[in-house]
Structure 1
Amino acid sequence: MAVTSERTATEIRSESREERAAKGKAARAATPRSSHAGFTRDPKAPAPLDLLARQDATRVAQLLPIRYGRMSVSPFTFFRGAALPMASDLSGTPVSGLRVQVCGDAHLMNFGVFASPERKLVFDINDFDETLPGPWEWDVKRLAASLEVASRQNGFTEHECRRVVTDSVAQYRTAMREFGGQTALEVWYAHADIDLVNQMYAGRLRGHRRKEMQKNVASAHNKDNLGALRRFTVVRDGEVRIAPDPPIVLPMEELSSRPEDVARAREGLGALLAAYRATLEPERRSLLDRYRLVDVAHKVVGVGSVGTRCWMILLLGNDDHDPLFLQAKEAGPSVLEEFAGPSEYDNSGRRVVVGQRLMQTVSDIFLGWIRAAGIVDGKQRDFYLRQLRDWKGSARVDTLDPRDMTTYGLLCAWTLARAHARTGDSVAIGSYLGSSESFDRAIAEFARDYADQNEKDHAALLKAIKTGAVQADSSR
């Protein structure tokens, strides 16, 4: 079903705080908080493997075995790659009618640290491929389910899993109520830099985990353009070039054996960069103009994104030690559009960029979008571009114990609430959530049932691989 109920910024602005709070409480009558509990898939709903196969039609066929190989590793990796099946499932669950800009794929691995333009390390959502206006509950349920699935994978007891989820959802609830009491500017400026993360959460970590966090912060600082230069390039015939690592990284020369194809692709890439340049602010265009194009390669990324077209673009500035690595990632329609309504933007790359700028406190200075002919096949596609690496880092979720998983869940939940409060009615949502644990308990029950379903879906994938119905390569 498509969700069309939406409160615009104009409607919010014209109402008093009391009126907005009353709307939130009134929404409880139509959609009680307890109604979010549990999950049973509609027997008429399409099977997850059928939905995934539908996505395959627009992806690079040679890379699909890598996609399914990565998803087959565990129920958690399957969950990460199954944004469309979960969107289909969520479309039939209760919603309050209050909408925000949603991430669309808010599982716990899509949060992490990166550099702000002021060169501070911040923690935020870092994947917006599926972003779209929609029900805030969908993001909360995907985050909660991911915490349950990851906790099970780490061997937690049923009680420990439930505590991780309920504490995290409670953090979302209390944070949203706190944002509802702040001014619009206070909400807009709120962010979690590494100092705030230490202040709010580091005290909950055990000694060895605090040391690991400090090590991860130091490691993130090395994941910059110079680090990418060392990792992804070689010097060939006196020139810096992207190093091949097939099938994960394929430089342009290896994409076709015909020189004319490579020459046409290089010409097309120049046009692509020119179109992208126009989406940047003038001062950032000036900075981009200091760099010259050197090389490009196709790169396999993520779990759910495997098979989409993603390009690494190497540019150099003053010399060979002044690199700028950009990533141009294909953007298709959000998996939510079938259920929450189409995007207002006809360019899916722009949809991603606008959504990211709305939800993140700070975004990459080179974030932009284009529609351009494919570098190899000439077909028109939408892309968004950003730096490949800029102090990026993420948690080692598979090493977390129950206490540390809870701490990480709290941080992700606070961050999600802040992102939702930037574009939605935090007063109404906070009022709907209330001060009791009713919503927390309901979402914990949903997460438990959805994790059960996810395990069945993962088992179905393994069976399909075993019978040969699905081809998988788990070596990469």
Structure 2
Amino acid sequence: MAQTESNSQSKSKTGGQRAGNARSQTRKTSEKAQRKAGPAGGNGPSPVQPVTSLVEDYKGIARAFAENPVVMRPCNLDGHARRLHVRATIIEDHAVRIDQQSQGAEEKFKKLSESLFKFFRGTSLLFHRDMAGDDERMPTVLVLGDVHPENFGVMPNADNVPIFGVNDFDDVLYGPFTWDLKRGVTGFMIASEEVGGHKKKTRRKIASRFVKGYRAGMEYYSRHNTEATEQMREDNSPKIIRKLFDEAEESRKEWLWDRYLDETGRGFRANEELTPISSRLDEFQAYVDKLAGQNEIARDGRAGKLRVKDVAMRHGQGTASLGLPRYYCLIEGPAGDATDDLILEFKRARRSALDGLVPKHDFDAGQEGDRIAHGQSVHLAKGDVFYGSVEIDGESFMSRERAPFREDIDLDELSKKSWKHYAEACGHALAQAHARSDDAGQLDYRIEPRILEAMEPFGLFVDDMLCFAEEAVERMRRDHAFYKRDLEMGAFDMTLKRYR
């Protein structure tokens, strides 16, 4: 998840020249008021203030671009101006982690420097600000927001049966369906070059198969109207995905004892990944009880009586969300012998990276944890029943179940042919997620025919997606070079401040 973390919001702007004039006048008024109030240290304002979030400013840019496409956006910047934009956006995106000196902040910044694909995965806000206001005419769906080859995988459904589909809902928001395709095509191009080692021609073929898989899936659901209930399981999935199911097979008992349980089986082990916080047992029992009530989870099923055995902080997980608070709850299973326990995850939820950037629409996915839970319920047919939202320490957290068969693809093991098959399967899975926007989501008309119409002529549509991605990749190469240079010079050690 790569969203802005700043808690304070800047004043809303309308975009264009009027926004510039308004900011200038506000600054003059503020400076005049400060001079009247006297020097710092007396009763006047502090001479140092944190730089506020630019979310509202980008809302103005997105609106202005949708109405008047001659408005300049960050993607048009180059040279040092672009470097400053990259630096400021990454600092804003990680403001809370930097100010709180979060344990994972330094680790994440180092991780982003290691490869272009990791940088792409961890800077969704930077990527989507370049798209502010794009595709205003295109059909609206509940977009995933962060589509790339490693955000598809095997996970548990409502019956604890493994299924394949989209698996990261941190950035979900209603917006043009093309936003997910653009992000996905770019992700496949970067990954197939960096991980797969493929040349330009092959990369284009792999990325185009993702788009073709999407259209084939949309055509299928347009004809059969089965997106509301259909699931990609081991028995009905493509060969490339069936292999993933095979790799995901692991007994729950072995999974628990090999990775999580202490020598007694009554709690979490303590290591570099897990820090038990058993003193908060009653607190998290209340969160689990609330979640069970919200989702109508029975207390006589595979989760037993939903009794919390232990709680731990989880460290070092994720790419975009690395450094954000994350907790694991150990739930006693029906057997009571530590062989069928469940693990629930509570992860800090934040603003979607697409918030304020997508063109204006009539739909509201909700806020923070509620928005993420809505995304999972829309995108997956009969998905994980533990997806939900709770408030911990005054902050919004999303919840979900960890499972022994949760598995992502190993991209470095794919052959050239397998890359194409995998891209096509991911495109089909994304099509189902989008097609469910009029079944489980808020759309009040059939979306599939509109999307198919908007993709015509299809050859031109594919070429537009590929050209967008190629430009985005080259821009990202430059951004990554700027980032690595800034990281070495300490640019991300502290948040930006505004001085009198």
Asked if Structure 1 and Structure 2 have the same fold, meaning a TM-score greater than 0.5 normalized by the shorter chain, the answer is: yes
Q: CA deviation at 1:130?
A: 0.8
Taking a change above 3 Å as real, the CA distance of residues 240 and 114 of structure 1, as seen in their structure-2 partners, is same
**Aligned counterpart, 1:281:** 296
TM-score by length of 2: 0.74
1:121 has 2:139 as partner? no
Q: 1:48 to 1:243 in 2, by over 3 A?
A: farther
- SS of residue paired to 2:164: strand
- Tell me: CA distance 1:229–1:351, structure 2 relative to 1, closer, same or farther (3 Å): farther
Contact 1:312 1:328 in 2 (8 A): yes
Match of 1:322 among 334, 340, 346: 340
Find the partner of 1:106 among 131, 137, 147: 147
C-alpha distance 64-152 of structure 1, shift in aligned 2 (>3 A): same
2:369 to 345, 349, 357: 349
Distance 1:443 1:272 in 2: 43
> SS at the partner of 1:298?
strand
Give 1:89's match in structure 2, choosing from 113, 116, 130.
Answer: 130
SS at match of 1:188: coil
Please point out which of 300, 304, 308 is paired with 1:293.
Answer: 308
Q: Which has the higher helix share?
A: 1
**In structure 1, which of residues 448, 452, 476 is the aligned counterpart of residue 470 of structure 2?**
448
Cα distance in structure 1, aligned partners of 2:107 and 2:180: 27
Question: Residue 178 of structure 1 aligns with which residue?
Answer: 220
Instruction: Give deviations 1:158-216, integer Å, cap 9, x for gaps.
Output: 11111111222122123223322333xx2312332222223xxx2xx6xxxx9xx63x4
1:162 to 186, 190, 204: 204
1:422 counterpart = 2:447: no
For residue 371 of structure 2, give the secondary structure of its aligned residue in structure 1: helix
* Cα displacement (A) at 1:91: 1.8
Deviations 1:20-75 (A, max 9, x none): xxxxxxxxxxx9xxx9xxx9813288723322211222335222011112222210
Paired position in structure 1 for 2:9: none
Partner of 2:63: none
With normalisation by structure 1, the TM-score equals: 0.78
The 5 A counterparts of 1:376-455 are 380-424=394-438, 425-434=447-456, 436-455=458-477
* Distance of 1:417 and 1:345 partners within structure 2: 19
Conserved 8 A contact 1:40-1:449: no
Give the root-mean-square deviation of aligned CA atoms: 2.9
- For 1:469 and 1:270, the matched residues in 2 are separated by 41
Deviation at 1:366? Answer: 2.0
Q: Which secondary structure does the structure 2 equivalent of 1:113 belong to?
A: strand
Range that drifts further, 437-446 or 272-281 = 272-281
- Measure how far apart 1:409 and its partner are: 0.5
C-alpha deviations, 1:245-300, integer Å up to 9, x for none?
Answer: 32x322227xxxxxxxxx4x344323322322321215368764614222211113
In 2, Cα distance between the equivalents of 1:47 and 1:399? 36
Give the total of aligned pairs: 405
Once residues 58 and 268 of structure 1 are traced to their aligned partners in structure 2, the CA distance between those partners, rounded to angstroms, is 24
Provide the C-alpha distance between the structure 1 equivalents of 2:96 and 2:156, rounded to a whole number of angstroms: 33
Q: Which residue of 2 aligns with 1:242?
A: 268
Is the CA contact (8 Å cut-off) linking 1:81 and 1:304 kept in structure 2? yes
Counterpart in 1 of 2:193? Answer: 152
Query: How many Å apart are 1:119 and its aligned residue?
Result: 4.8
Match of 1:468 in 2: 490
Q: Which amino acid aligns with 1:305?
A: S
Q: How far apart are 1:435 and its partner, in Å? A: 5.5
Change (3 A) 1:243 1:451: same
Alignment correspondent of 1:305: 321
CA contact (8 A) 1:370 1:384 kept: yes
Q: CA deviation at 1:323?
A: 1.1
Q: Shift of residue 390 of structure 1?
A: 4.6
> 2-side partners of 1:328 and 1:285: how far apart?
22
Q: CA deviation at 1:224?
A: 4.2
Aligned to 1:69: 110
Could you tell me which of 327, 341, 359 is aligned with 2:379? 359
Asked whether the 8 Å contact 1:350–1:384 carries over to 2, the reply is yes
Distance 2:371 2:123 in 1: 21
Q: CA deviation at 1:363?
A: 0.9
Q: Is the 8 A contact 2:138 2:454 kept in 1?
A: no
Give the letter for the 1:251 counterpart.
Answer: P
2:217 maps to 1:217: no
Aligned position for 2:228 = 188
Q: Deviation of residue 230 (structure 1)?
A: 2.6
- CA 47–223 in structure 1, closer or farther in 2 if over 3 Å, else same: farther
Which amino acid is 2:209 matched to?
D
Deviation per CA, 1:414-458: give whole Å up to 9, x if none.
Answer: 111111111151111111113631111110111111111122222
Aligned with 1:245: secondary structure? coil
| Superposed displacement of residue 242, structure 1 | 1.5
CA contact 2:206–2:423 (8 Å) conserved in 1: yes
Give the Cα–Cα distance (whole angstroms) in 2 for the partners of residues 174 and 469 of structure 1. Answer: 45
Structure 2 unaligned blocks of 5 or more: 1-11, 14-65, 439-446, 495-500
User: Aligned-pair distance for 1:125?
Assistant: 0.3
